[in-house]
Each structure stands twice: as C-alpha cells, then as structure tokens.
Structure 1
Amino acid sequence: MSDHPQSRAILPEGWPQPRGYANGMVAEGRVLVTGGLVGWNAEGVFAPGFIGQLRQTFLNVRAVVEAGGGRVEDIVRMTWYVTDIAAYRASLGAMGPIYREVFGRHFPAMAVVAVTALVEPEALLEIEATAVVGG
C-alpha cells in the first residue's frame, strides 16, 4: 500500500491483502475533496472509449489534487461511478498499467458503483477523490 508518512492503509488482522485498493486509510492533514471528475480534457472534449476516459479521468483527479497542494500519495479515497459495469470488468487488465502510470503504486480506499447515467451524456465514468494534504 502506501508508505507516505501522513497516511497508511488499514488491514484488519486475518484479512487477505487487497489488490489495487485499501480497505481503509488513516491520515493527518487538511482535507481536499474533488468534485465528480469525468474523462474530458481542458477543452471539454471526451477521450474515446472507456479506457481513454479512464486515463483522462485519472489525469484530471491528479491535476485537481496537485492544484490543491497535494500529491497522489495524499489521496485516501476514490469513489468511481461507471455507466457500464461490464465494460469496467472487461477493462480490468488494461486498467492496472494506466493506474500505475498516473498514481504509481499508491492504492487508497476505493469503491466502484454502477449507475444508469451521469450528468454529462458522453461520460462513461466519474470519479470523486478525497485527499489529506500536509499532515
């Protein structure tokens, strides 16, 4: 999980080590909360396909956290909203390298929620993140 000094992953005794996320996080510092971020660029143009939007959404999460004075290692929670859970599951193999490209090997607490639609009609996923900065 994370070796960032202000945060650490929680693993209850006897639980198996999660892969790609943490069951919980403990952190000290200022709370930075993102809005729901989608897979479009600064011009409002969506990346093509689920994986394209996923990568752009990751980049957007990182950009907001960094603009708030944080680092990706400060992220303690992410909630993903996806409109097509089958596309999410089919993309699991491709997600890992993209995730590590943007966030490294920092895996906060995460939840993935299937939804019927998002406010932006072209959006295939939306991610909210919480970071704890400067503990």
Structure 2
Amino acid sequence: MTTVSPNAATPLRRIDPSKWPSPHGYSHAVAGTGTFVFLGSQIATDNAGRVTTIGLVPQARQALRNVRTVLAEAGGAPEHIAQMTWYVLDIDHYRTRLPEIGVVYREIMGSHDPAMALVEVSGLVDPAAIVAISATAILPGGNPSSHPDSGPVP
C-alpha cells in the first residue's frame, strides 16, 4: 500500500494499494484528521441562484467554482477535499468530455486528487442542471472557519 503522509498544510494522506494500477485524476482512498466539512451538492448556479450556463463542461466549471467558494467560506481549500461525488445526467456524455473536464478540474481545483465517485442520475433538483458535485473536506486541526457566524449548531 502506498500512503502519502499529511503535512501541516493538508491533513490528508492518499491511500492507493501498491499492486493496483495507479489511478489518474482520483485516489482510491484518502485518510486524515481535523475538522470535517460536508459540502452539499453544488450545481452551476450564479450568485442569484440561477443556472446560466449550458453544456456539461461549462456547468462543471461553475459547479467546481461553487465548491471552492463554499469550502473557502469554511476556511478550506481544494487540497483539503478528501472525497467528491459527481452526479451527471448522462455518464456516456461525461466520458466523451472527460479530457475537457480534466482540464477544467485542474484549472479550478489544482493537482489534488481526492477519492471520487461518479454517479448517473435521472434528474437533479434544478431542471437546468446537468451536473452536481458534493464533497467532504478535512481541514487541518485548529483551522477555524473564516465565517463569523459559523460555530457549533445548537
């Protein structure tokens, strides 16, 4: 098993079994300690809550930007994401656009490869959305939220 130890900036370590092929664009597993942040599914909405882009790649770009925005509000960054789940309406279309999606992913999320799942669904809450992305992040210990109203929920 190959593991990469966490450092002070990110509490995560990547876990990939040594006799398995190396994954590209994801990790088999990620482990870590710290403050967990669970991001609800993000779609390609603008600041007014409207889906204004058409097409899988533009919607993936905006959904990833929204993941970054929500995570930053919690005091985190893309390298703190331990797991992502992508929900798409058409998995075959996703596969054909994967090279472009990979470029967009790297542009917005950097070179960090969390554990990932891809699921084809029959619909999303907003009928204009064709992709939704949820994530779980683990922030380094002692990393308080940047949002003044966040804290323990009563």
Q: Which residue of 1 aligns with 2:126?
A: 120
Q: Which residue of 1 aligns with 2:47?
A: 42
Deviations 1:76-109 (A, max 9, x none): 0001110111221111110111111111100100
- Fraction of identical pairs, as percent: 40
Query: 1:4, 1:73 within 8 Å by CA — same for their partners in 2?
Result: no
Quick one: which amino acid aligns to residue 52 of structure 1? Answer: P
Q: Which runs of 5+ in 1 are unaligned?
A: none
Deviations 1:32-58 (A, max 9, x none): 001111011112232221111000000
TM norm structure 2: 0.83
Separation of aligned partners in 1, 2:95 and 2:118: 11
Query: 1:2, 1:9 within 8 Å by CA — same for their partners in 2?
Result: yes
The DSSP-based 3-state class of the residue aligned with 1:106 is: coil
Question: Whose Rg is larger?
Answer: 2
Separation of aligned partners in 1, 2:137 and 2:68: 10
Asked if 1:103 corresponds to 2:109, the answer is: yes
The higher relative CO (CA closer than 8 Å, separation ≥ 6) is in 1
Residue in structure 2 matching 1:73, options 66, 71, 79 = 79
Q: Which residue of 2 aligns with 1:29?
A: 34
Quick one: which amino acid aligns to residue 101 of structure 1? Answer: E
Return the offset for 1:4: 5.5
TM norm structure 1: 0.94
Structure 1 vs Structure 2 CA RMSD: 1.6
